Chain A
Amino acid sequence: MKLRTLGSVIALGVGLVAGAAMAEYPERPINMIIPYGAGGATDISARTIAEALGTAAGTPLIMANVTGAGGATGSVAVQNAKPDGYTMLFARVGSHSVNPAMKATLPYTLDDFRFVTVYEINPVACAVRPDSGIESMDDLVAKVAEGGVSYSSSGVGSLLHLAGAMVLKEFGVENPLTEATHIPQQGGGAAATAVLNGTATFICTNTSALANFVANNQLKALMVTTEEPVVGFDAPTANELGKPRLNALVGWTGIAGPAGLPDDVSAKWGDWITEAAQDAKFAETMSSMGSVIDVMSPDEAIAFINNQYSVFRALVDELGMRIEG
């Protein structure tokens, strides 16, 4: 048995090498790199869509978490991979719009990747402790003027880091970097805990990370950044507060390949993702996690990300948040 398997294995391997040039994509499993840790929001989202995507593509997707440096380690692995469509990346707001906007030291730029889709949007909410005496964004801004306000994030260059500064800036705080203190934590869970135990005053992050705290009355939501209200969050939207520019402040997950990805591969991914998003189980899991499914075509995705990048970049340059060293 073992020998026969080995024999067929070698035969198959030789056959694959010989036929690689002419066979149609995809003719072997595709490596999907998740640049964040197992069990995180990106990971759950990626693994949920993987099954449906695999069915649509007709080949298994092999998921690989490559974590480190706020998503940079995994992103670099894809940046340097052969652009043959067999190594793709689950890109996230942190790794592909906040990080490029904030870090001059980042080993990649947006131009090193070719996006094939963005498939989910995560609304962002800001929250404080219910006993903090802060009832609204205006209260928060008033408190900033008094001094001693801080916000937690999952690290420098994370969405949470930028979101805290951006929200304060939009609500009229002249220089959020000096008037409020940024207290980075190791990871999103620790960031929420920091507000819970009083280390930081407020947090702005994906609603999915806050949902259970808000439901349990451990945290109070002050606003959400989307146009539409978010279920479970009894808080005004950015538009109701007259700050529509904050609509750009949302999380997302998409799929990208290295820059030289051929057009036909990109087009195929566009088709697969449309098909996969129809999957009922995927839709159910995503909405229970608080995400909005919004499948974009390759062109829409590129436009969406570039727009968000330029908004973030403008803010970073205005506030002098860019990290050079």
Chain B
Amino acid sequence: MSLMDSLAAGLSLVGNVEAFLMLFIGLVVGVVAGAIPGLSATMAVALTLPFTFAMTPINAILLLLGVYKGGIFGGSIPAILIKTPGTPASSATILDGHPMAERGEAGRALGMALYASCTADAVSNLALILFAGWLASFALNFGPPEFFALILFSLTIIAGVSGESLLRGALSALAGLLLATIGLDLVYGTNRFTFGDPNMMGGLNFIAVLIGLFAIPEIIAMAWNPVAHLGRTRALGKSRCTFADYAKSFKSIIRGSLIGVFLGSIPGIGAAPSAFLSYSEARRTSKNKANFGKGEIEGVAASEAGNNGVAGATLIPLLALGVPGDVITAIIIGAFMVHGLQPGPMMFILNVDIIYGLFIGLIVSSVFLLVVGSVAIRGFRFVADVPKRILMPGVLVLCIYGVFAVNNNIFDVGVMFVMGWVGYIMMRNRIPAAPFLIAFILGPLLEDNFRQSMLMSGSDPSILFRGPITWFFWALTAITVFAITRSTLRKTVPLS
């Protein structure tokens, strides 16, 4: 079948109102769910799944993809407005998005988040359509040693988000790494720091730690000084993102999209590390380096491009290999299977109409996201105008509901509170929270892949250098560490 035939077959599948309607509904559901902390994109997709059983396969999958993409963007709305990421992927957006909202530029930050998201989404979809086969075979070369090298490199992001002192950033990261060891050991299944509590055996819930670390300290700070915000200009959220803003950040957006595509096509990394990596790259190369973390619009653009760039690319291993890249695509694979479709190389031969139908739907989804997102921003940005001393108790209640909903476990609410105080103490001592979070995500991956590599090789460390991919990341890590060391030593105040 030629490309034109495939396209025509695909068009005939999606060329009806229903398919586009499903995509649209999915995006709306996703944006709303993403905007509610605790109801992450993952949960929204999982909750939508049962509704798709009765639909045609293409409608079902377009609906789920709509929810997924909408959810990833939606998460940035509360991240910017109330410093509570709606979904883990948008935690990097907080770094610059929330300071902008504090300055009264909520509308500008949200607008940039939307434009960056849509651009990255489009880039990601194009990459999927053009390079699916090639990227997928590349992704299969990633075994534990390659992952180990990649994650080790990703940990250098910490230097980029440490703020004024690298040492304090390192301290924060170590705390995150230590906290992530709680739970059952991967290889032997023994207890680590669980203190005999069954709730600790599963490790601390990621969302509970995340919300505790970012949202709760704001509430505690309000108790410390309820009138601190009064003097500041907290103008209404009327500012807008201009074309000049977009043009200025365009390079970062494209770079972030490509990082997203690359990390998305490798199973098992996910959108949050991609957003942080994109952010730190944008900071590293920006002229306004000093302004990052204080409300730099380019930072918002880079983070959102990084996480939305993943969304299309995670479909690469899914469609080309049948391998889920993250939890969400694992659920989507479930939807394929319920409809009797088996993702993998054969699908490009047996169900090529569905594949091309999906491609067409995906291209349209970027446009729909722009429309749905603009409406959502209009609706949500006035949250910034609610009196802060009423907003904050509301955020607390929302966090309690949201954190409970993630795993239906009251214990997680306790984890959130405790992490809130940890976060507050860190804030008072000028220890940045972002390295903590990155380490908490990447730490278990680093350890697991290291030990899996050791199991593979019978404890021979040379497996960590087994091929060109590992060499590439080791070299990248070495260069980055060298660059960081040199730039810190060059400063007038060393290591600070």
Residues in chain A within 8 A of chain B (CB atoms): 33, 37-40, 43-44, 47-48, 51, 64-70, 72-73, 76-77, 102-103, 105, 107, 150, 155-157, 181-187, 189-190, 192-194, 196-199, 208, 211-213, 215-218, 281, 285, 288-289, 323, 325
Interface string of B215-241 (1 = CB under 8 A from A): 000000000000000000000000000
Do A325 and B43 have beta carbons less than 8 Å apart? no
Do B342 and A288 have beta carbons less than 8 Å apart? no
Do A39 and B334 have beta carbons less than 8 Å apart? yes
Q: What are 28 A-B pairs with beta-carbon distances under 8 A?
A: A39-B49, A39-B331, A40-B334, A67-B202, A68-B203, A68-B407, A69-B198, A69-B201, A72-B201, A72-B202, A73-B199, A76-B198, A105-B191, A156-B189, A181-B458, A183-B452, A183-B456, A184-B452, A197-B142, A199-B452, A212-B322, A212-B343, A213-B322, A216-B344, A217-B346, A281-B53, A288-B339, A325-B190
Residues in chain B within 8 A of chain A (CB atoms): 42-43, 45-47, 49-50, 53, 140-144, 183-191, 196, 198-199, 201-203, 205, 267-268, 321-324, 327, 330-331, 333-334, 336-340, 342-347, 407-409, 448, 452, 455-456, 458
A132 to chain B, nearest CB (A): 15
Do A189 and B330 have beta carbons less than 8 Å apart? yes
B467 to chain A, nearest CB (A): 12
Do A66 and B408 have beta carbons less than 8 Å apart? yes
Do A211 and B337 have beta carbons less than 8 Å apart? yes
B140 to chain A, nearest CB (A): 5
Residues of chain A lying within 8 A (CB to CB) of residue B337: 208, 211-212, 288-289
Residues of chain A lying within 8 A (CB to CB) of residue B142: 197
From B50, B143, B188, B342, contact of A197 by CB (8 A): B143
Do A184 and B143 have beta carbons less than 8 Å apart? no
Alpha-carbon separation in the docked complex, A286 to B66 (Å): 26
Alpha-carbon separation in the docked complex, A194 to B333 (Å): 17
Which residue of A is nearest B453, CB measured? A199
Residues of chain B lying within 8 A (CB to CB) of residue A40: 330, 334
Do B323 and A193 have beta carbons less than 8 Å apart? yes
Residues of chain B lying within 8 A (CB to CB) of residue A323: 188-190
Do A196 and B338 have beta carbons less than 8 Å apart? no
Do A156 and B187 have beta carbons less than 8 Å apart? yes
Residues of chain A lying within 8 A (CB to CB) of residue B334: 39-40, 44
Alpha-carbon separation in the docked complex, A65 to B144 (Å): 29
Do A193 and B342 have beta carbons less than 8 Å apart? no
Known contacts A40-B330, A69-B183, A156-B185; 10 further A-B pairs (Cβ under 8 A): A37-B327, A105-B191, A107-B201, A150-B455, A186-B186, A190-B267, A190-B268, A196-B140, A208-B337, A325-B188
Alpha-carbon separation in the docked complex, A185 to B323 (Å): 14
Do A39 and B187 have beta carbons less than 8 Å apart? no
A77 to chain B, nearest CB (A): 7
Do B344 and A215 have beta carbons less than 8 Å apart? yes
Residues of chain B lying within 8 A (CB to CB) of residue A288: 337-340
Do B409 and A38 have beta carbons less than 8 Å apart? no
From A38, A44, A66, A281, contact of B43 by CB (8 A): A38
Do A197 and B187 have beta carbons less than 8 Å apart? no
Do A216 and B345 have beta carbons less than 8 Å apart? yes
Do B322 and A218 have beta carbons less than 8 Å apart? yes
Do A185 and B338 have beta carbons less than 8 Å apart? no
Residues of chain B lying within 8 A (CB to CB) of residue A39: 45-46, 49, 327, 330-331, 334
The 8 closest A-B pairs by CB, nearest first: A68-B202, A156-B189, A39-B331, A38-B46, A216-B344, A212-B342, A69-B201, A325-B190
From A33, A70, A208, A212, contact of B408 by CB (8 A): A33
B47 to chain A, nearest CB (A): 8
Residues of chain B lying within 8 A (CB to CB) of residue A72: 198, 201-202
Do A213 and B188 have beta carbons less than 8 Å apart? no
Do B456 and A285 have beta carbons less than 8 Å apart? no
Do B198 and A196 have beta carbons less than 8 Å apart? no
Do A183 and B455 have beta carbons less than 8 Å apart? yes
Alpha-carbon separation in the docked complex, A187 to B45 (Å): 19
B332 to chain A, nearest CB (A): 8
Alpha-carbon separation in the docked complex, A37 to B408 (Å): 11
Residues of chain A lying within 8 A (CB to CB) of residue B141: 197
Which residue of A is nearest B143, CB measured? A199
Which residue of B is nearest A208, CB measured? B337
Residues of chain A lying within 8 A (CB to CB) of residue B189: 102-103, 155-157, 323
Do B186 and A184 have beta carbons less than 8 Å apart? yes
From A73, A189, A198, contact of B143 by CB (8 A): A198
Residues of chain B lying within 8 A (CB to CB) of residue A103: 189
Alpha-carbon separation in the docked complex, A77 to B404 (Å): 14
